[in-house]
Structures are given as structure tokens and as C-alpha cells.
Amino acid sequence: MMIDFNNLEINNLYSQTEFEKKVVFFIKEWFSGTDTVSVQTSGSTGTPKIFEIEKAKMLYSARMTCNFLDLKKNDIALICLPIEYISGKMMVVRAIERKLKLVIAEPTLKPLENLISEIDFCAMTPLQVENSLDKIHLIKNLIIGGAAVSESLKIKIKQTLQLSDSQTNIYETYGMSETLSHIALKEIFPNQNQFFTVFENISISLDERGCLKILAPNLNNEILVTNDLVEITDENKFRFLGRIDNVINSGGAKIFAEELEALAKKEIPNEVVFLGLKDEILGKRLIAVIEGNESAEIIESFQKIQFEKKYHKPKQIIFVEEMPRTSNGKVKRIELRQMIESN
């Protein structure tokens, strides 16, 4: 199904699949007389919440992304993210704001399966990209969010697109429901940057913990204090270090789980999560959880990892068949830890 927002006739929108019906329902809700819409958080770091967001602020967010990517009227976008969350809703709002043609694809792990022609814009999760490498050359501008893009996936993207001589531009996003999707992008193809670049009219700073604070008055009336530890290089660039919730204090040493995971994923393709389990001596005992079947090959590759500190090497490696995830692909670390501890 494709919806042309340059010639939109709401009463003539006929949906077939359940997902198409949800998208059409949101479009009708958008063009109703209300000033706000309901958005659900993913629940990756806690209990999912539902809150109201002003449509005017969502339009401002959409405008920033469309301007950054230089999207134009009649360009073709594809939505393949759940419409319940801000990520899916913002794809529709961007199409509304810029009068795009919006292709609706089921939010599965292989959303590009039926894509045969080029499109101008798409937003996907890392898991979706991982399962769509054979089709991403058809996308002119691809943004990846919902979870961090692993080093192994960056390598696969580079290898795939270099072989296809693609003109695709790919960015990793930084944002949350409270910032109405992303407020910063980091290019990962054709160039691979280390720092996120913040959009205009957004100010960033650090709190006393070293966590990111965001002032974006056009998106949120409050200063947003995150739990994300970052390094700020200038007024509009920062490097993500990890969530303070995921910092593991082992024997008095602070270990950033996400940094170790990025390092590990340079050596092995499987999902890897570093956790701290209760330990009478160390306080927290560092372990590595690897998704998939245990194999000597993976363990051998893991042993090749050059950890910067001796205490960065996990005390134990545990294999699990499948990690618990939210619907948009984020690993549920609390649930994973509980699963490991119970076993």
C-alpha cells in the first residue's frame, strides 16, 4: 500500500492488513481536531508509558529530519516500524510534513523483502537492517535507531554497499520518545563517524554524573536529563559511552558495558551483552552473554578480543538461545539478567 500525501484523500484510504489499518487510523487521528496524539514508550529501560504529544512539536521534529536529509515533495519513503511508538508515528508525520509518498511495509525482521525499486528514505532497527542487507542499496537515505548499531553490522553494511556501488547514505540515530524521535545523527556510511551531530536549536550539556542533558524547547518544554554517559567535544557533537544504568562496578572499577560490547562485536557476529551479577567479593561479577548456540569457534574468536584493562575480561561466558527484546529490537537487560540469575 502506498499513500500519496501530496494528493491525500483520507476517505479513500482502503487498508487490508492489520498494520495498514493502524497506519490509516493514525493518519485520521492526525487530521482530526485534536492538538495531541498518544505515544507509547518502548519499555526497554522500565515499564512502558503512554503520554500525549503536541502535533506542532512532532511537525517541528519531522522538519529537522527532512531538512537534514534534503527530502523533497513526492520523494518516496517506507514505513516498517510499529506505529504505536514514536519511531513509527514520526515516519508518517515526516511524510505529512514534506508531502512524501509513503509505502507501508509490515514491521517484520525482513521488511524490505518485497521491495523491488528505489526509495528515498527509510527508518529501520539494527535487526531489520541485519536481515535486509541484500536490499539496502535501494534506499537513498537510511536511518537506524531503536538500539546501537554494532561494529559487526557496520562492517557488513560497508562490505555490502561497496560491492553494489550504492549511493546510499546511512546514519545512526540518537533520541527517545521524549525528544520525539532523534535529535542527533551519526553517519556510518559512506563515512564512519565516531560522534553524533546535534540538530539546530538544540543545546546539550553534562550533569554532575557525566550524563547528557538536552535543551530542545521546540520539542519538549523541560530540560531532559538522560541516563546516557557521553563525551561532548563541542557545542553540537558528542560520543555515546553507555547508559549509567549499565555501568558495572566490579571490585571498585567502573566498567562501561556498551564499550565492551562494541569491542566484542568486532570479533564475533553474535549479539553480546555484558552484565554484572551479584558477587560477595567484587560486588558485581562481570559476565558476557552471547546469543546463539555455544561453539568452539565463537569462544576462540572471543578470546582474541584485546581488552584494554584486565578487569574488562569477563569471569564467565554464557550462551543463550535467544535474548529477550522489545518489539523494536532493544535487548531487555533487566529481564536478561533475571533470566541468567534464575538459571
Q: Which three cell numbers stand for residue 20?
A: 495498514
Query: Quick one: 34 and 145 in the same domain?
Result: yes
Residue ranges, the chain, pLDDT below 50: none
DSSP 312: G
Query: Quick one: 195 and 337 in the same domain?
Result: no
The Cα–Cα gap between 168 and 109 comes to 20
* Residue 48 pLDDT: 64
What DSSP letter does each residue of 49-98 carry, written as one string? -EEEEEHHHHHHHHHHHHHHHT--TT-EEEE-S-TTBHHHHHHHHHHHHH
* Residue 328 pLDDT: 60
Domain end point (choices 182, 200, 218): 200
The Cα–Cα gap between 123 and 76 comes to 12
Q: What is the pLDDT of residues 191-250, one digit of tens each?
A: 999 999 999 999 999 999 999 999 999 998 889 999 999 999 988 999 998 889 889 999
Q: Do residues 77 and 100 make contact, with C-beta atoms less than 8 angstroms apart? A: yes
* Residue 176 pLDDT: 85
Query: Quick one: 23 and 119 in the same domain?
Result: yes
Residue 84 domain-assigned (yes or no) = yes
Helices (H), the chain: 18-30, 55-69, 86-98, 126-130, 151-164, 257-264, 296-303, 333-342
Measure the N-to-C terminal CA separation of the chain; round to a whole number of Å.
Answer: 46
Residue 8 domain-assigned (yes or no) = yes
User: Which structural domain range is residue 258 located in?
Assistant: 251-342
Overall pTM > 0.85: no
To the nearest whole percent, how much of the chain has pLDDT over 70?
97
Beta-bridged to residue 37, according to DSSP, are 53
* Residue 311 pLDDT: 92
Show the CA angle centred on residue 252, arms to residues 249 and 258, nearest 5°: 35
* Residue 327 pLDDT: 66
